[in-house]
């Protein structure tokens, strides 16, 4: 019970602070605060018809976050996850553009190829890290740009619409290759199923398996793990591959289930946002799901601010940014406090133990 209170303190305090700051901001720009917050809620989770829209944003965010749990546990910042989503989407787009067959087969093939593209793109920083000691943050960021450039090249060049050269996107995929939906809605049960399965699988993997334990050892202390006989490089590469696969699947969902074509911004910043989700979740897989839902709701719901209250759309972005910032500041404060307490406790025991 006490533990739960402690765990909930950071999110609750930061959300309350962020809401207070948002309130102030809305008052300053002469918008009705309560109404604004109500609109965000109502435009995301508060209305049955908007829940699918929110889940559509939740899926790629959660997939990327689940993948990042693995690389974080291995002690690495796979910031290139954004590019791995893009590559996954490119792989999936390639399959549905070039292959023809029964939808079930083509869609499964798209998922497999999307995941493989993601793995490939993740293994590059992994290899550079394990082989040459190149920090994965730098190679990862660079590879995000490269992936984007490849997408733009394909969209303007070989995959362009007839007579058109625009970054607007490729032609729509054949409708039978879109992810199956429930009824007339854009709600793809398959995508949601995949995301839920990913979160559960990663949670089990990290908490309940020897692999997860050893990976954690690699992350906590690379050198001692190596001395204990864990093949650290292989473990690190496998973590990259796993994250890349989930990111690639996220890209596949974005391409086949959401845009139904390849667009340059196919990754939707979900990879970068997922880094925040994982940090806020304290690297616990199961926590990523509700936190990602919160972010997805903010993203999708804030459209209502422009639509219904006429608030400038950039203000919605500012509100989102403030929420993130507050959550991080409070989180950092909490972490520092915990560390100070831990150190004090440590000094106490050392002194006591003599």
- DSSP conformation class of 184: T
Q: At what angle do helices 270-280 and 285-301 cross, to 10 degrees?
A: 130
Q: Label residue 19 exposed, middle or buried (CB < 10 Å: 0-12, 13-18, 19+).
A: middle
Shortest spacing between CB 354 and another protein, in angstroms: 26
Token representation of residue 141: 């960021």
Among 32, 312, 337, 341, binds another protein (CB under 8 A): 312
Residues 6+ apart with CB under 8 A from 173: 93, 96, 97, 255, 256, 260, 261
Which residue, 199 or 273, has its beta carbon nearer to another protein? 273
Instruction: Choose among 168, 156, 173: nearest CA to 260.
Output: 173
How many CB atoms are located within 10 Å of the residue 116 CB?
17
Q: Does 4 bind another protein (CB under 8 A)?
A: no
Among 16, 204, 307, 345, binds another protein (CB under 8 A): 307
Binding mask 64-93 for another protein (x = CB under 8 A): -------------x----------------
The Cα–Cα gap between 92 and 248 comes to: 9
3-state secondary structure of 113: helix
Q: Does 184 bind another protein (CB under 8 A)?
A: yes
Q: Does 145 bind another protein (CB under 8 A)?
A: yes
Among 275, 289, 311, 330, binds another protein (CB under 8 A): 275
Q: Does 293 bind another protein (CB under 8 A)?
A: no
Q: Does 296 bind another protein (CB under 8 A)?
A: yes
Among 138, 221, 318, 334, binds another protein (CB under 8 A): 318
Q: How many residues bind another protein (CB under 8 A)?
A: 62
- DSSP conformation class of 74: T
Q: Does 328 bind another protein (CB under 8 A)?
A: yes
Residues 6+ apart with CB under 8 A from 220: 75
Query: Which part of the chain contacts another protein (CB under 8 A), choosing from 3-11, 52-60, 89-97, 120-128?
Result: 52-60
The Cα–Cα gap between 242 and 68 comes to: 9
Query: Which part of the chain contacts another protein (CB under 8 A), choosing from 97-105, 200-208, 244-252, 316-324?
Result: 316-324
Binding mask 209-238 for another protein (x = CB under 8 A): ------------------------------
Residues 6+ apart with CB under 8 A from 182: 189
3-state secondary structure of 2: helix
- DSSP conformation class of 29: T
Q: Does 96 bind another protein (CB under 8 A)?
A: no
Instruction: Choose among 160, 150, 121, 140: nearest CA to 79.
Output: 140
Instruction: Choose among 33, 41, 32: nearest CA to 304.
Output: 41
Query: Which part of the chain contacts another protein (CB under 8 A), choosing from 103-111, 120-128, 283-291, 299-307?
Result: 299-307
- Does residue 257 contact residue 190 with C-beta atoms inside 8 Å? yes
- DSSP conformation class of 17: H
Structure-token match 């509100």, residue found: 319
Which residue, 90 or 299, has its beta carbon nearer to another protein? 299
Shortest spacing between CB 201 and another protein, in angstroms: 25
What residues between 244 and 273 interact with another protein by CB under 8 A?
258-261, 263-270, 272-273
Q: Does 42 bind another protein (CB under 8 A)?
A: no
Shortest spacing between CB 2 and another protein, in angstroms: 25
Q: Does 125 bind another protein (CB under 8 A)?
A: no
- DSSP conformation class of 282: T
Shortest spacing between CB 193 and another protein, in angstroms: 20
Work out whether the CA dihedral 234, 235, 241, 245 comes out positive or negative.
positive
Which residues in this chain contact another protein in the complex, by CB under 8 A? 43, 49, 53, 56-57, 77, 137, 145, 148, 152, 156-157, 160, 163-169, 172, 184, 186, 258-261, 263-270, 272-273, 275-276, 279, 296, 299-300, 303-304, 306-308, 310, 312-314, 316-318, 320-322, 324-325, 328, 332
């Amino acid at each position: 019970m006490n533990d739960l209170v402690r765990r909930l303190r950071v999110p609750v305090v930061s959300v309350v602070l962020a809401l207070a700051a948002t309130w102030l901001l809305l008052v300053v720009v002469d918008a009705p605060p309560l109404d604004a917050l109500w609109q965000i809620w109502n435009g995301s989770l508060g209305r049955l018809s908007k829940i699918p829209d929110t889940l559509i944003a939740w899926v790629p965010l959660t997939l990327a976050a689940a993948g990042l749990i693995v690389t974080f546990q291995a002690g690495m910042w796979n910031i290139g996850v954004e590019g791995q989503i893009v590559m996954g989407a490119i792989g999936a787009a390639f399959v549905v553009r070039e292959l023809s067959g029964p939808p079930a087969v083509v869609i499964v093939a798209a998922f497999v190829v999307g995941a493989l593209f993601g793995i490939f793109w993740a293994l590059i920083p992994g290899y550079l890290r394990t082989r040459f000691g190149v920090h994965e943050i730098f190679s990862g960021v660079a590879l995000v740009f490269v992936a984007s450039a490849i997408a733009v090249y394909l969209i303007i060049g070989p995959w362009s619409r007839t007579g058109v050269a625009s970054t607007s996107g490729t032609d729509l995929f054949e409708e039978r290759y879109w992810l199956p939906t429930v009824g007339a809605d854009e709600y793809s049960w398959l995508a949601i199923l995949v995301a839920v399965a990913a979160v559960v699988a990663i949670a089990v993997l990290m908490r309940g398996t020897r692999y997860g334990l050893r990976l954690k050892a690699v992350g906590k202390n690379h050198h001692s793990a190596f001395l204990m006989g864990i093949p650290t490089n292989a473990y690190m590469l496998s973590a990259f591959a796993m994250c890349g696969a989930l990111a690639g699947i996220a890209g596949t969902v974005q391409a086949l289930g959401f845009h139904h074509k390849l667009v340059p911004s196919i990754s939707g910043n979900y990879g970068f946002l997922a880094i925040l989700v994982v940090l806020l979740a304290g690297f616990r897989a199961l926590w990523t799901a509700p936190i990602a839902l919160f972010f997805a709701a903010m993203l999708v719901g804030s459209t209502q601010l422009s639509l219904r209250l006429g608030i400038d759309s950039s203000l919605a972005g500012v509100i989102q940014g403030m929420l993130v910032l507050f959550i991080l500041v409070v989180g950092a404060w909490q972490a520092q406090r915990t560390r100070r307490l831990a150190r004090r406790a440590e000094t106490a025991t050392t002194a006591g133990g003599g």
